[in-house]
Structure 1
Amino acid sequence: MKLEENSQFGFMLDQSKCVGCRTCSLSCKDYKNMPVGVNFRRVFETEGGNWTCKEDGSFEQSVFAYYTSISCNHCSNPSCLKACPTGATMKIKWGIVAIDDSMCIGCKACATACPYGAPQFNHESGHMSKCDGCYERLKEGKNPICVDSCPFRALKAGDITKLREEHGNLASITPLPDASITHPNLCIVPEKHSLPSGNKSAIFHLPQNYQGVKNDII
């Protein structure tokens, strides 16, 4: 994958292909050698529908579930950047939102401001940390590790303009916030049951409630 000098980096997620296996999340954690509790890429499960008993005793159902793999969206209007009191959070080449450890004081203001939960506190370093798009791989013309590790090819990365031309510009999907807040450089190919942001007819499970995360395994 080659990015032009003035490209804006972004991600594409195809929810119709994502099965919630979390290979993307685990490969990211392994590649970045993150401590327990820090996960740059997370997977949400959204479910809804019900079973209805009919008069003849039979049942009909409208049950559904879909998955949303999410990391930092390297937003065009990043709330984390505006909230940082020291200037440690900044836009670098290809519009990637990055954190300069030498300037970060670990105040967590960026984490509080981000509606996607991208910045996370690293207890080992005492600094905030987040997805940088695998910047060192991008410079070599490679994909982020999460993209290459997905067994179902549900993720793509690259110039967001080209990704949107190919896959559309939808990014406001439950459980994510409305895209108008920070203008994420993300496009989503919805699964047939995907719901718009703000829809309360379904429930979603937080990534930290997965057993491995809850028990401090990952």
Structure 2
Amino acid sequence: MSLGFYFDVTRCIGCRTCQVACKDRRDIQKPGVRPRRVESFETGTYPQVGMFHVSVACNHCESPACVANCPTLAMHKTVDGVVLHDDARCVQCRNCVTVCPYGAPQFDDEADMIVKCDSCYELRKGGMNPTCVDACPTRALEFGDIDELRRQHGTDCVSEIPVLGTADHTHPNLLVKPNGAAVSPSFAKVAL
């Protein structure tokens, strides 16, 4: 079993509630450090234009680059495939920050520590959902067994979209239900 996130682009309104809830639960004060990030993109030219939002965190990859390149084993996978960070083992070398293609591990210089999504590991041990999942007002996020999520949401889900790059190397445990704009190879990030 591998656990991961399902994200429905067609439902996301870019409100960033998942992002705020994640920072709040983790008590992250540093601006710019966001274990879950929502970014907005536009595609096309008039009159054929599109816009979409992407909510992304750690994808708890099958072959995580952060784990493979961590010299102290601070980055490690659990038996259910979740990638965790052990603060006590970390020497802040930032290899994980450099090699992750999704920008999941981030260095918080105020805390002097690597910060990343842990899928709310402690909450889930208590039978709860990750904070981002419960915070989403449009229910665009889900977390669970990736095979079960694939069965539940059908064959139109993908593990990569152009704004996230290729899934060939790390094999993310991420399912995305894209809209038409999200599959466009030509996009521009916008600030809202």
Query: One fold, TM greater than 0.5?
Result: yes
* Farther off after superposition, 79-88 or 161-170: 161-170
Q: Distance in 1 between matches of 2:124 and 2:12?
A: 23
DSSP 3-state at the match of 2:150: helix
Q: Distance in 2 between matches of 1:193 and 1:127?
A: 36
CA shift, 1:162, in A, is: 0.4
Q: Distance in 2 between matches of 1:195 and 1:204?
A: 14
1:48-71 Cα shifts (integer Å, max 9, x gaps): 2222xxxxxxxxx11110111000
User: Aligned residue for 2:181?
Assistant: 193
* Structure 1 vs Structure 2 CA RMSD: 1.4
Residue 43 of structure 1, aligned match among 26, 30, 38: 38
Choose 1 or 2 for highest CA Rg: 1
Residue 51 of structure 2, aligned match among 45, 48, 65: 65
User: Aligned residue for 1:159?
Assistant: 145
1:144-199 Cα shifts (integer Å, max 9, x gaps): 00000000000010111101122245021121011112000000011132216xx2
Cα pair 2:60 2:172 within 8 Å, conserved: yes
CA shift, 1:109, in A, is: 0.4
Cα pair 2:43 2:181 within 8 Å, conserved: no
User: Aligned residue for 1:176?
Assistant: 164
Q: Distance in 2 between matches of 1:92 and 1:172?
A: 23
Is residue 123 from structure 1 mapped to residue 118 from structure 2 by the alignment?
no
Name the CA shift for 1:176/1:71 in 2 (closer, same or farther; >3 Å). same
Is residue 20 from structure 1 mapped to residue 14 from structure 2 by the alignment?
yes
Structure 1 alignment gaps of length 5 or more: 1-6, 52-60, 211-218
User: Aligned residue for 2:81?
Assistant: 95
Q: Distance in 1 between matches of 2:11 and 2:116?
A: 25
Q: TM-score, normalised by structure 1?
A: 0.83
CA shift, 1:93, in A, is: 3.9
CA shift, 1:204, in A, is: 2.1
Letter in 2 for 1:109: N
DSSP 3-state at the match of 1:132: coil
How many residues are aligned here?
189
User: Aligned residue for 2:134?
Assistant: 148
Q: Distance in 1 between matches of 2:87 and 2:29?
A: 16
CA shift, 1:31, in A, is: 0.8
Residue 204 of structure 1, aligned match among 178, 189, 192: 189
**Runs of 4+ in structure 1 over 3 Å off:** none
User: Aligned residue for 2:93?
Assistant: 107
DSSP 3-state at the match of 1:181: coil
